[in-house]
Structure 1
Amino acid sequence: MEQTNQMRDIRSLSDDDIRSAVAQLDQPMFRATQVLEWLHKKNASSFDEMTNLPKSFRTQLAERFSFAVPRQIAQQISRDRTRKYLLEFSDGVSVEAVGIPGRGKLTACISTQAGCGMRCAFCATGLAGLARSCTAREMVDQVLHIARDFNERVTSVVFMGQGEPFANFDETVRALRTLNDPRGLKIGARHLTVSTCGIIPGIRAFAKLPEQFTLAISLHSASQQTRNQLMPGVKKYTLPRLYEALQEYVEATGRRPTYEIAMIEGINDTNPEMRAICDFCEGTLCHVNLIQLSDFPDSELHPSPLFKLEELQKRLTARGVQTTIRCSRGADIDAACGQLKQRRPNAR
């Protein structure tokens, strides 16, 4: 096992590297085409799956390269059919990912980091701290794991699991492009959504990407003092600067960002807080998602009652702001927004 972990993952090789490796093994070049098809189109997770390759050739490949796919430590299934996975990478670091089925759709919610360093008060992940960032390959592997478990094609991916994607910007973009690649999973750019706490350099860099990936902002409050208390990790990115960066994003891309607001009783559901949110959003191109805060152990924060979300939705709609009250899936297995904390229930 130790030797395997030190081998290079074959999926990390370029197409030219794979052709070169096949040539070094004295195999005809059409074998390289077959290997690439297994990697890009069929998303193989082992050499044994490559059934149109000679067994001797598969053995040669296995002696030189690995498939460092994550190992499932645990799985939980919600009453609403949402599935949460605890996945362990080859170095022992683990993350959680969530599969959310719908009518003819399957959404993968994946992690960009193991843990998170943003320290958001309403999030179990942030309270646990940051272990390390994920590679692009590890992000894609979470999507593939979900697809295999459901035996279904993933139709959309939200980078809303553990971690701050823009604190791991380059690897996140590589993962987005891999998922969007027409040779592979072919997930449309608009069905790939990245959620950030509001890291402004990341927003500006994201706006320059040629692909039409979707941007979501964890807003949660439009009052600076409240936002600082809830989200200390982005305290330096003030609301006026965030507002300016988002308007620049809209002008550069023509795309509508989503603002996410988890409603917290007595914190951001008061009259002044609602008014501030309406003022921030009015006259801008955006869509607001309102959700009730998800409870987690040891938290002193509690979800707002539903009528508060309905009141804010009415206020925003009256100001011309598109607003949705969103049902957070998988709360009974701690798979909802802000609940991911790498707990280890009894493995299935």
Structure 2
Amino acid sequence: MRLGEEHQELRTAVRSLLARHEGAAAWGPLTRQIGAAGLAVPEEHGGAGCGPVEVHVVMEELGRVLAPLPYLGSAVLATQALLAAGDTELLPVLADGRATGTLAWAENGSWCPEDVHARAVHGPGGWRITGVKEHVLDGAGAGVLLVVARTDAGLALFHVPPESGGVTRTALTTMDLTRPQATLSFDGAEARAVGGDAGQALARVRDLACTALAAEQVGAAERCLEITVAHVKDRVQFGRPIGSFQAVKHRLADAFVRVESARSAALGASWAAADGSPDLPRYAAVAKSVCSEAFSAVAGEMIQLHGGIGITWEHDAHRYFKRAHGSAQLLGSPARHRGRMAESVIGPCGPGAGRSA
């Protein structure tokens, strides 16, 4: 599971661009110069025709700098939802960055299909949606809103024009300020059905999103370790760098093993997705669980080994720690994904066991 020369070139290009353009200002150059928004979009719909491994590379680099960009919500969740549903009408505007998209899915803090209560009703004027969606990535500013709602026939995916009546978007003040989220309320909002039964489509979108998020977590964890290693080389206590103390070496060695183990899990899921493996759900669950816990642990070590400065606003340590906590819960907690792995091996194991994240 090694990245090829083209992947390394993509990594270099993305890292260089992010070094020149900080924060939200990177989105335009990233889409225009590298075509990152359309990496996973087929060429006939304006994209690059690449796949999950290329997305993995970009997500790692975005994770390293905690880029506050709508990549996960637009280039992964929204794009993959359209591809899985077989609806390509909106793909060109997402692929070239003319608009960003998002997938409004979660309700009551859950990404379980069983917990979707938003209702879509078909009448003389078409479909109308009523309900509330939480944790919508970049939901306050996305131009393409895709909404998961329940119909009499089951779950379905809908496109809701954001400017239509009955849509209220409320930006949230989140602990992780680098990951904008919003609550979306729909009160009889006009909608267009996208594809048919969304059950299988959402399962694939979840796996691909978990795979991409795991790559982001690896990139961020790796950067935490780099910053911490540099600090313990420079920080002097008792006349010697604290990195020379055996206890500190052991903690850094453990952190290194966590990062590399997480990298293997994330790459395994990306390659499984690229190869169309039927085991992707298991690989994705492993990656989301392992990478979430590795990032949280390494970010925690970063805080500890920096001492007091690690919790000051001026240092980046607290930003990585907050991203680690937030991303661990996004798309389902590590415990939920371990439950998915258990179900794939031994089947449902009790009340509520089938409620996959």
Q: TM-score, normalised by structure 1?
A: 0.24
Structure with a larger share of its residues in helix? 2
